[in-house]
Structures are given as structure tokens and as C-alpha cells.
Amino acid sequence: DQCAIGFIGLFVGGPGSGKGTQCTTVVEHFGFTHLSAGDLLREDIKSGSANGTMIQNMIKEGKIVPSEVTVKLLQLAMQESDNDKFLIDGFPRNEENRAAFENVTGIVPEFVLFFDCSEEEMEKFNFWAGTRVDDNIETIRKRFNVFVESSLPVIEHYRSREKIDAGKPIEDVFKTVKNIFTVNDI
Ligand code: UP5
Ligand code: MG
């Protein structure tokens, strides 16, 4: 089943780069529905699904969950929504994720926003959260390495993309994001 989709934008960036924080504000201003791939996976664990233990183990290690699992969850969330404009946060994380999403849904996301953030800044942000099984310095470093090795190269696949400095205060980052959305008529 393909969904009737108006617009899909992706927010990508390393762990703690502020994707979720910015999505929450952007959706209020621009009428998108926010889908966090990580949140969907964590909800799936909580729901007691058959994949729960596998997903939990991968998240603890900062590893990328198999594409079929994540794509299915994203597709379901889109189908269950009345909206046709989505901001997907934290996906795709590797080339296989990107290809699987396009093959399964038939959708090529139109716009990618890359939250550029140094490892030091990411560690700092994540220490302030500290509530998840992967919020410990050991896993954060693994997540950062996986981001650099597997996720970063995928960004270049998208023609319509922007990079922002995510190391600024939350309000400044939001101003930049808002400006990009306005200029690009998103
Ligand atoms: N904060 C935010 N912006 C700030 C700023 N400008 N200045 C100061 N502080 C700022 O922000 C993190 C913290 O920093 C918050 O306390 C915030 O207030 C503060 P947040 O907005 O939560 O950052 P975000 O980029 O969303 O960080 P998150 O921890 O969610 O990063 P990840 O991308 O690593 O986490 P995600 O949930 O996407 O994935 C978790 C794991 O799930 C992955 O490691 C992987 O194992 C698995 N996964 C998959 O396998 N596949 C997927 O497709 C998705 C996830
Ligand atoms: Mg997040």
C-alpha cells in the first residue's frame, strides 16, 4: 500500500544534535507531523512486539536496526495519520535504510536538513538528557561513530539538502531552520 504523501522532509544529524527538539517546534509552525524513527522503535519495544528484544539490544549498542523493521514502523505511522506532510527525524541511518524506504513506500523524500554538530557538543547535549538505555558515554561514542561511518555519507544522496550549525542555542537554530523552510517554500 502506498500512502498519499504531500511532502516528506528528513532531519538527520548525530546523537543529541537537536533533531527532536527542532522537529517539535517546526511541526507547530509548518503543519507537519513529526515522526522520530528512534521513538517509533522505542514504542515498539514497549508494546511488547516480537522484535522488541532484538531492537532493545541493537539500541543499547548504538547499532542500526534492520531496515525492514524501521521502514514498516514509519510506513504504518504515515498510513495511520490524517496528515500528508511528514518530518522524519533520525532516518535514514545508512544506505540500506534509504533504499528500503524508497522501495517499500515508493516515496523519495524531498528535502534533507543536516544538523551539523561536533562530537564534543553532542556529548554535552546528551548528558543533559540521560534517560535512555543508550544515554551513557560508551554508547554515545558508538552512536557517534556509526553516524559518521554510515549515516553521514547518505546525506549526499539527496539533491535538495541544507546543512546547519546545530551547536548554537536552541532559539538560534530554530531561526535558521525557519528561514530555510521559508526560503525553500516548504
Ligand atoms: N538540546 C537540543 N538542542 C540544543 C541546543 N541547540 N543547545 C543546547 N542543548 C540542546 O536533543 C538532545 C538534548 O540536547 C536535549 O536534552 C535537548 O534539550 C538538548 P534532542 O533534540 O533530543 O537531539 P536528537 O538529535 O533528537 O538526539 P537523539 O538522542 O534522539 O539522537 P539519536 O539520533 O542518536 O537517537 P534516535 O532516537 O534517533 O536513535 C536511537 C537509536 O535507535 C539509534 O542509535 C539506533 O540504535 C536506533 N535507530 C535505528 O536503528 N534506526 C533508525 O532509523 C533510528 C534509530
Ligand atoms: Mg531524537
pLDDT above 60: residue 18: yes
Atom from ligand 1 closest to the CA of residue 23: 21
pLDDT, tens digit (0-9, with 9 covering 90-100), for 106-144: 999 999 999 999 998 887 776 666 789 998 889 999 999
Share of residues in the chain with pLDDT > 90 (%): 87
Between the CA of 13 and the centroid of ligand 2 the distance, in Å, is 9
User: What residue has cell string 514502523?
Assistant: 73
How large is the ipTM? 0.98
Cα dihedral sign, 17-68-60-79: positive
Between the CA of 13 and the centroid of ligand 1 the distance, in Å, is 8
Q: pLDDT at position 1, please?
A: 43
Mutation probe of ligand 1 site: the residue of 24, 26, 41, 87 with most atoms within 8 A of C-beta: 41
State the ligand closest to the CA atom of 126: 1
Domain boundaries, the chain: 7-183
Q: Domain 7-183 classified CATH 3.40.50.300? A: yes
Which of 111, 98, 94 is closest to 151 using CA atoms?
Answer: 94
Spell out which residues line ligand 1, taking CB within 6 angstroms: 13, 15-21, 37-38, 41, 58-59, 62-65, 70, 90-91, 93, 125, 128-129, 134, 143, 168-170, 173
pLDDT, tens digit (0-9, with 9 covering 90-100), for 45-84: 999 999 999 999 999 999 999 999 999 999 999 999 999 9
The residues pairing with 125 across neighbouring beta strands, listed in sequence order, are none
Between the CA of 15 and the centroid of ligand 2 the distance, in Å, is 7
Between the CA of 14 and the centroid of ligand 2 the distance, in Å, is 9
Distance CA 110, CA 182 (A): 15
